[in-house]
Structure 1
């Protein structure tokens, strides 16, 4: 790994990979040398705009070559990146832009007809304008211990919190990720995971530049467009949530997908059958799954050679330098170099999340098997109590997904006079299915208290941009 800052790693890619393709975005094709030049010029533009070491700038835009140039240009100017979720409405984004103290905000005007309204007083730059090319080549002095980004948590509970991470933490963790996912020099990596999330930005852009893989950014997931790109650009690496692979399996006909080699998934329960089909019905040769969170990056991952069963039912073993422990109440605790420096301007929330022994309390519930593999059974806040028994939605969802007519399932607890709470399942069917039939099928497979009492069929589940079900919307 060259140097211990992200700018040094990115700029060194020019020497390491030269004229190989770094980014392919529509008609724009940049080599690693050209990308490094553009990043240096963008750094000069940020410096000229008054963004210096430790200053923050927000990028509120979809995946694109310009997003990559802006983000790494900002870091090269010594700044701190604040990525903003493109699905956020003006008030939600405004809250993050204000709290982060961003000096400027880059937006893509006209994207999906969205109105990127920014709090007054904060200068707005169109990411597609000539701003990024307007600077003189520049590189600030940056240290590995400097904070490189403030990524806000997805906020499925309460207000999103800004997570502080450093250059050195990020580079060490994602260099290991490259090995675990089998990312290689010359790979062609189609990135559908949003850049405003660590899956797209760190396990996507950063890993590609560490290894010398070509980045193909996709701003909006559209299965036909993805199939076309895979065929035309000979894509080898295609990570995404389980829904991505369901879509590929349903729509693959008539496209040459033979170049695909690496699948990486997470963020949701995966049926064993889906993992099997990713390898048997699609050309993928490796499937990696893992468990990560904004506050600690990728904490565990499956290993090459793991069985379909292991990949589907566990999230693997801890990454190097990361410890996992299960607390007495079942909560997953994480400790190690990759745990965040803290939450932005929130010492109380930081102290609540990281105990005096350095363990990060994740809010997830899990178990460890005798081989040290972690299994996530749900969110602490999602657990509901049925007549005195703890019911874990993720476990029940896992059972429901085994039914051949169930494509997706989400379970929540709803009030019940007799039992306190009972389960309600929201199901996206993939064939004819009646509620009574699914409930009767469940009774044969799980303890009575786990069986959903109600089933509601939906055409799709409300998902956030990273593929997690937004259960607050189901409630």
Structure 2
């Protein structure tokens, strides 16, 4: 399928079109705030006026570091409507981690909150060297030197809606929409650059494939800083005209009550969410009969779980999907009619307009049923890594194939089963973890000479980090000290839950740590 087979649009065109088609339809409910699609479109224009007044130019980056709240969406679409580029920040990052992304992206504005779950984001970056950052704006709360969201928006009074429209009209589908940062084997996060047109087309296709409609009440549990909560979340909802119900902080009792109260029909998320719902002791006290569609992934999904999601939670459709930040978040999807066995044992087949294949070490396609690295090609492949043409060239072939680094097996029907990860990535409760990034942090801990990290199974989170540490001579470390230090210096999902101390790490002749041997040792410990 060529790009001409699907009309290419920009984000402001999408929001305006949905508002025109469904003017009185409720777009979002967030606590006491209810916005129709007409009101969401008006809020978008109002925010865009403020960005113009603040001096935002085409291509300028705005960072958002906040939980799922209505202002997050309004700020994003306001900036994106006039050529601003969104840079989301994980709410679990610590100051140095956030500082790296703010510096690397050159963000001029940081939109955040005064405090969330004990994290005071403005204070966390106050000592970071951020030469491009001009202003911190708070959606809610207070912080020294920061400006309130209301004051920021009020600044747009001197700019007309016609000026916003004129800037929006200059946008093309090829213009950059966002830069999402993902970690890599080098241990340094990389900025993935993607455009308006490719993201909108990807999630027009995704939402049509899974069956999202304008009649759905969509509980967005996945965080907005992640493509699952952003692109498969509020962007897909706006494309289809669904009602968005953002979840600021996951609390199972509150979620069950909201499903009951708001007649929630759609809940995407990692398998742990559904497992938690199934095991809740008071589940039968809530009316869950409105549940219709579940889109899951990021971890294996047992057949028994899918069957219980149908039989006990009442979902009519359960599908899985697979993708990378470098592919706008999606490559393959199961179809609603697929069996529980196929959904459990695969991550779907390529979505329309995208090619997918498994290849050997030389890039040759392997036969069906044979393990190989997964490659994909299509409109969803990123424009490249931010300011890193060398890494981009190593990741995307000359003829446009994205080398995912994941190993899988494809069947005769094109359905792929992920079997391994070349890059050693593991997934903690739905969050991607890269050992090199954790290892780099651990190497800065006093007393640590060398560190290697692997993922090990965990009943609740799927996988967690296990650190193997060689202490410096005459230095005494214990497991709790490493865990405590890690909690202070890295996002919680990256923190090792297990620590092993060794006199040396197993290495090959080239000096590379033999992670497979560490996995074998960990497996032997588990019996």
CA contact 2:8–2:197 (8 Å) conserved in 1 = no
Any idea what the Cα deviations from partners look like across 1:274-320, whole Å, max 9, x if unmatched?
Answer: 11111111011001101010000210000121010100110111011
Does 1:421 find its partner at 2:517?
A: yes
Kindly indicate whether the alpha-carbon contact (under 8 Å) linking 1:289 and 1:301 is maintained by their aligned counterparts in 2: yes
Indicate the residue corresponding to 1:132 in structure 2.
Answer: 153
Whole-Å separation in 1 of the counterparts to 2:288 and 2:275: 15
Match of 1:44 among 42, 49, 72: 49
State the Cα distance separating 1:269 from its structure 2 match.
1.0
Give the structure-2-normalised TM-score. Answer: 0.74
| Paired position in structure 2 for 1:429 | none
Q: Does 1:453 align with 2:524?
A: yes
CA contact (8 A) 1:241 1:266 kept: yes
Determine if contact 2:373/2:408 at 8 Å carries over to the other structure: yes
Any gaps of 5 or more consecutive residues in structure 2? Answer: 1-5, 141-148, 362-371, 426-456, 469-504, 508-513
Q: Does 1:290 align with 2:321?
A: yes
Is 2:297 aligned against 1:226? no
Q: Which residue of 2 aligns with 1:466?
A: none
1:159-198 Cα distance to aligned partner (Å, 9 max, x none): 1110010111011110011111110112110001111111
CA distance in structure 1 between the partners assigned to 2:216 and 2:381 by the alignment: 29
The one of 178, 203, 207 equivalent to 2:232 is: 203
Equivalent runs, 1:169-180 vs 2, <5 Å: 169-180=198-209
Determine the structure 1 residue equivalent to 2:442. none
The answer to whether structure 1 residue 264 and structure 2 residue 295 are counterparts is yes
Q: Is the 8 A contact 2:272 2:460 kept in 1?
A: no
Give me the TM-score of the superposition, normalised by structure 1.
Answer: 0.82
The structural deviation recorded for 1:76 is: 1.0
SS where residue 156 of structure 2 aligns?
A: coil
Count of paired positions: 414
CA gap 1:411/1:207 in 2 versus in 1, 3 angstroms: closer
Q: In the aligned structure 1, how far is the partner of 2:17 from the partner of 2:7?
A: 7
The 1:218/1:409 distance shift into structure 2, 3 A limit, reads: closer
After superposition, where does 1:77-88 map in structure 2 within 5 Å? 77-88=82-93
CA distance in 1, matches of 2:77, 2:71: 10
User: Structure 1 156/45 Cα, relative in aligned 2: closer, same or farther at 3 Å?
Assistant: farther
Give the distance between the partners of 2:401 and 2:216, measured in 1 at CA. 36
Query: Which residue of 1 is the match for residue 420 of structure 2?
Result: 378
Q: Which runs of 4+ in 1 moved over 6 A?
A: 411-417
> Structure 1: which 5+ runs fail to align?
384-399, 427-451, 457-475
Q: Distance in 2 between the 1:269 and 1:314 partners?
A: 9
Distance 1:273 1:207, change over 3 A: same
Q: Contact 1:313–1:375 at 8 Å: present in 2 too?
A: yes
| 81-90 vs 326-335, greater mean Cα deviation | 326-335
User: Cα–Cα, structure 1 residues 77 and 36, in superposed 2: closer, same or farther, change >3 Å?
Assistant: same
Provide the secondary structure at the position in 2 that maps to 1:454.
helix
The answer on whether the counterparts of 1:412 and 1:424 sit within 8 Å (CA) in structure 2 is: no
Give RMSD over aligned pairs: 2.6
Q: Is residue 307 of structure 2 the alignment partner of residue 279 of structure 1?
A: no
Q: How far off is 1:142 after superposition?
A: 1.1
Structure 2 match to 1:308: 340
Q: Is the 8 A contact 1:69 1:132 kept in 2?
A: no
